[in-house]
Structure 1
Amino acid sequence: MLDNSTWHQVAERIYEEDFYRFDHRLIFRVAKRLASQNQPLDVITLSEALERTGDLEQTGGLAYLGVLARDTPSAANIQAYAEIVRDRARLRSLIAAATHIADSAFNPNGRDSTEILDEAQRAVTAVAIRYANTSSAVILLRGDQLEISAIQWLWVGWIARGKLHLLVGAPSTGKTTLLMALAAIVSHAGMWPDGTTAPGGHVVILSFEDDPHDTLVPRLKAAGADMSKIVIVGDVREEDGDRCFDAARDIPILAAALASMPEPPAMLIIDPIVNLVARDSNASSDVRRSLAPLVDLGHRIGCAVIGISHFTKGTTGRDPVERVTGSIAFGALARVVLTTVRRPDDHPEGPARVVVRAKSNIGPDGGGWSYEIEPIELDDHPGLFATRAKLGDAIEGTARTLLTEAETVAEEDMSRSSALDAAADWLKRFLAGGGESAGKCLTEAAKENISERTLHRARRELGIESTVSGFGREKTSVWSLPAGTFNSANSAASLPVQNSAAGMAGLAEMDYGAGYRGGSVGSSAIPANTAKPSNSGINDDGEVAI
């Protein structure tokens, strides 16, 4: 009523129902109608319009309209006044929603807690949507105004700029080591296993698990990376000191840091990607909300984003994308999902690790590559060993088939080995006190659910001696442990006691052979005079086990 030119500022912020008092709602309704008709707004025009609708008396008449105009200092702060009305309306809506939620909880009327919780979430969400920032607007794009652009590939069919990828697999498949090898290829514009050349660029690594000094950098060097193109995400620097990177709140800061690089990175690696989820990694809404900034970041700067994850236990044989740990949203958001599996030594096609393309929304899926994890001594750090992934031959087939074949053979082999080991342990304990007849061994073994075939395999494995005596019906066979076999009766006395002086001396005298100088990635280097155990090799994490 004081300045008609400010009406549009109010109309965009509040609605008739936002006013608590009914008379104020009537006044706002008539004022809105006059404004839509390009009529002037003042005390006189409002009173006349209210009188025509029969609402003037309900609003306090001309006198009350005059009081409103008189007691309002100025129209200059009209946006602030409108915001006060809007904020009070939002609070009243929350109170109403909370009251309804409380009533539903006290009187469920046959509904379970899940239904009531869903209803509560809908009620609160409705308030949030109703009072969302009305200054924001959704941009609608006409199809005929959109330009077509080709996907920018780092590795055609496998890794694309601006897209989210997942590398998923069971432990011991060397996922991180494999990614370091791929990062190395990008860093020096090397050659992919299919013979094509990588375009090259910087690689940024955000690792929540591995130390860059003793794990990531050694593996990158072992893979031949151009270390000037490798960037490791460190701490966050603030006025009162440095703190650890917090994925829940620091993605915008990371985006700003990447944008300030001389050239946008070609690849961003996150290990593991589940650490980016602020709340529940099994909830689809939480996963999507947490990963959205990351997906947007990759798209805006044209960077291939690759996150490492794991398979859920007990999911062998299922669709590989459904096996990703956490919510199915991880696999749904990723445009490409790569999976890794380790074939056992007795696999029909030989032992190897395999990376398979389980899903691709932007190209063909299926097929894969074999790779091996091997230790290598670093050229510029003599005596220090790291592991690297060496990519091999192409493999045909779908991800589900290739993974199931490899894992089924491994599980069957593990099952046979476990049954045999259990039978051997039982047989050693059973014969620890002396020989027993073969018939009694078979009878007692059956009570332990050990099959006759498995028991005979265990007998051969242990070298059990069988002594036959008698003839005909009197013929008996007695099984006994071979001479010198450790058993429950003598094993404790045969081993050095570590807590005793003699025991420590005995352990100190053990000689594994000299001359090896090396170390595992993730541990300090082994001095030259430190022995290498005879059972050294590559452990389940793809590291050199010392």
Structure 2
Amino acid sequence: MTEHDMTEPDWASEAETNAPPHDREAEMAVLGAMLLSRSVIDPIAAILSDAADFYMPRHQTVYRTITDLYARSRDPKIDTITVAAELLATGELAKIGGAAYLHTLVAAVPAVSSATYYAEIIRERAQLRTVLEATRRATSRALTAALTAAEILDAAMADLQAAATGTTTTDVRLSVSDRWMGFVDELEAGADPRALDTPWMDLNEVVELKPGQLVTVGAATGGGKSLLGMNLAAHIALTRSKPALVASMEMGGSELMARLTAAESGVVLDRLIRRRLDQSDWEKVFKAAPRLQNAHNFILDDSPNLTIGKIRARMRWMASTGNPPAIVVADYLQLMTPENAKPNANRANEVAELSRGLKLLAMEFEIPVIALAQFNRGAAGRQPVVTDFKDSSAIEQDSNVIVLMHRPLNEDGTADDNRAGEIDLIVAKNRNGASGRVIPLIFQGHYARLRSMGRGI
């Protein structure tokens, strides 16, 4: 019996030739290189998503052990002896074939300098296995008719997108142990690195846009909610250089571009809409042109009859192009079309379904979703409350944050001359911070923008 026979388990022989795509030699070479040189661990970890990229279970165990040891101290000692000791301590040494197998891995390295190339082979094979598993699940669902055709297609697209972007829908780490070090890193950094800010510093003191949040912004008709949504998305895309998606059912692409150009250039919006620019206007447009002309990461989707499914498909398309959205603005909630809309359906139930759908989108893609929503007519002329949303009370329940927009008026309903050109953002709900705060902003409707006043109430 040879050393190879002693170290290879039964499942690595004939059955392996009929196994899903993988490359045993590449897996061995990567692990051996990591045991030989600590300098290749970071580049390899940057290519591989996690231990599950390795097909062979014992290779997953060795990779996980090496990376755990590497992350444990500032000057880790990684070699066959230290890794064998760690595997012995965790009771997994025998499972991988003993300490002798670690030396087999080292001997299997053609060149340490090619370690990242071997890692790319492993990642490619892992993606192929993910594609095969996605098609298998889709086929099973179709044969059993467990879901509707649209639901099966949507699930298949999610699985295939996971393969394309290197994520997974099955390997989820949820324990406190898994989450702890990342949370400590955030505490040391003094901020959540995944959180987004707004262009209004006073609002940032109260609200932080976090992954998985549904943030609902309500206003009366013509109350400035679309303006706020565009300003926020432009801030994320143009100032923070993160991909942003505006799904608009309120305006067409031309009007959206006019508002964006007005806000960025300082040209009066009415002149842009009417296409009546003078020389000074053109100079402002040309000055803003480089910033807007290169905004490839800022997507304005004005497709008719937008549904949750269409927005999800657009988000996946952005991810497939290398620009997964950091924020989504839906303008506005009550104009969206429900999936499988039925005649004479209860509109309140439909809006509740849409609200819940946007919340699930935020959680699925781990980004903040901003839902703009309209008030009932009864809210006109007074300070709004969370029960004023049109057609649904579910909005309050689904939202992590609710911001209500209000133009200050006198008791008789006329404009308040003392606060002309101002608008209040009322933080009516805030699960991660203070609620009840009122943030006044400068309302520059002629430039399609809101400006911070530098103070809060």
Shorter-normalised TM-score: what interval? 0.3 to 0.5
Normalising by structure 1, we get a TM-score of 0.38
Q: Which has the higher contact order (CA 8 A, sep 6+)?
A: 2
When Rg is computed on C-alpha atoms for both structures, the one with the higher figure is 1
Query: Is the helix fraction higher in 1 or 2?
Result: 2
